A = this chain, B = another copy of it.
Amino acid sequence: MSPRTTGQIHIIGAGLLGTSIGLALTKLGIDVSISDASPANQLLAIDFAAGRKLVEGDDVSVVVVCVPPDVTAKTVIGALKDFPTAIVTDVASVKSTVLAELKSNTADTSRYVGSHPMAGREKGGTLAGRADLFVGRPWVMAVEEKTDSAAAQKIEQLALDLGSTPIRMSAQEHDHAVALISHTPQIISSLLAAQLSIAEDKDLSLSGQGLRDTTRIAASDPSLWLQILSANSAELLPVLKNFDKDLEQVIAALEQVGTSGSLAKLGKVLEAGNQGIARLPGKHGSTNTSYAQVVVMIDDKPGELARLLTEIGQAGLNVEDLKLDHASGAQVGLVELSVLPNIEEKLTSTLRTNGWRLAG
């Protein structure tokens, strides 16, 4: 598959997004250079195969600015100056504030296209980078009246090369949408997890998957999210206030359990939740969907996992991902193997033949 993107791509910022873009483009055979304010991060990203060092005489075609939101505009302005013929994009989670700062600095935005890949992990940093981070994800091109169409197309082709679906909308439309589908879930998840910080150990010992899923993103970096949330407060506030209004109705209903109509109000919220879920578009390319999962129970003793993997290797079978969980009390470990669907049957029969216990 030959990539649509041509020329050298320079990435500024070797965090999760910058590293992931670098890994993916490098894999496609594109010439990628990557830099970071931290020399250690930059070295790590290069060692990680996310790109090479930028050198004198490089002819950069596109600059991708992947730095924290509060320094994005400044870095874009610098990039427009340092790379006078390149198209410059950024990947910050809020688009209006970046655009306003560029305008107030009278930056020449004809070569600038703001963008935002709707991809991320609760872990950040260079080592969290993944070439497939963007596969199947929407990538917003924040296109304004003054945006050069050829420049926007160039960034769209880059997004397509990374497996994303480019979506055009204005910076304001983008910020309105992410307030609902990204920033509100972040705040709510953090608020929910915050309730756990004051709980007793005994209560937490019962935690299950529902709690884990609803609070997963509460593990995200507070300083990054402070920047995002405060930059988008205008769009965020109406959604949070509506949530608050609904929550207070639920509280009122629960305070009147037994009186007529109270259950109906509570039921309406639960049903609205069902309806909301149903409106979510099909899952965007999570890697899990393409793999078959085989769960093996192993004895909780040294060497068992190595033995399992050695036998799988001897059978010529490739494991794409692996997760080990100890089922405490049960004296067994559960190994979740993710494999390509076409080898699932061979894997399960091999394991059964060799005497392994498969779960489910």
Contacts and interface: CB of A to CB of B under 8 A. Distances in A.
A130 to B, nearest CB: 6
Interface stretch (A60-68, A106-114, A213-221, A345-353): A213-221
A15 to B, nearest CB: 14
Contacts of A325: 130, 136, 283-284, 321
A244 interface: yes
Interface string A175-191: 01110111011111111
B180 A203 contact: yes
Interface in A289-348: 295, 302-303, 305-306, 309-310, 312-313, 316-332, 334
A43 interface: no
B322 A130 contact: no
Contacts of A255: 233, 237
A12 to B, nearest CB: 19
A220 B23 CA distance: 39
Name the residue in A165, A262, A285 with the highest tally of chain B Cβ atoms < 10 Å from its Cβ.
A285
A160 B215 contact: no
A34 B209 CA distance: 27
Contacts of A282: 326, 328
A150 interface: no
How many chain A residues sit at the interface, stated as a range, is 35 or more
A328 B132 contact: yes
Nearest to A309: B306
A55 interface: no
B281 A222 contact: no
A104 B303 CA distance: 55
Contacts of A246: 191, 194-195
Interface of A: 23-24, 26-27, 48-50, 118-120, 127, 129-132, 135-138, 140, 160, 163-167, 169, 173-174, 176-178, 180-182, 184-197, 199, 201-220, 222-223, 225-226, 229-230, 233, 236-237, 239-244, 246-248, 250-251, 254-255, 257, 262-263, 266-267, 269-288, 295, 302-303, 305-306, 309-310, 312-313, 316-332, 334, 359-360
17 contacts: A120-B208, A165-B329, A181-B204, A182-B206, A182-B210, A188-B192, A189-B214, A195-B239, A196-B277, A197-B276, A199-B279, A209-B286, A214-B216, A219-B273, A226-B263, A282-B326, A321-B326
